[in-house]
Amino acid sequence: MKKDVINTAKIKLREGDTVILNVKNKEERKKGKVLSVLRKENKLIVEGMNIRTRHVKPKKQGQESGIIKSEGAIHVSKVNFYCPKCERGVKVGIKISDNGKKTRFCRKCKETIK
């Protein structure tokens, strides 16, 4: 019997961040931009990674058929944030400033992330 588990993991990546793939496969060390974050599933959709192809028939008259390529979701654990200063994949930390604002930073070079 499975229980419904609420996902409490914090995803420190946001839309627009550049990430690098850290899994050994044909797309190893590939960089891409995060298009969307699926927080409930702990997954990301990254531009140019995990390409899926679908063969589509026309549903209505005049609609085009053919092969459609789109990005599939990737688990958060398989990507790292890409720091342009370090030029590699790094972990992201969060600082809380004196006025209560949260800022993200690179854990290697301690530079803030915009």
- Find out if CATH 3.30.2320.30 is the number for domain 18-57+67-113: no
| Element (DSSP H or E) covering residue 106 | strand 102-106
Under 8 Å between Cβ of 65 and 74: no
36 in helix, strand or coil?
strand
Q: How far apart are CA 20 and CA 30, in angstroms?
A: 6
**In terms of pTM, does the model score above 0.75?**
yes
pLDDT digits (tens, 9 = 90+) for 48-82: 999 999 999 998 998 889 999 999 999 999 999 99
CB neighbourhood size of 74 (10 A)? 21
pLDDT digits (tens, 9 = 90+) for 10-63: 889 999 999 999 988 777 889 999 999 999 999 999 999 999 999 999 989 988
Domain spans of the chain, in order of start: 18-57+67-113
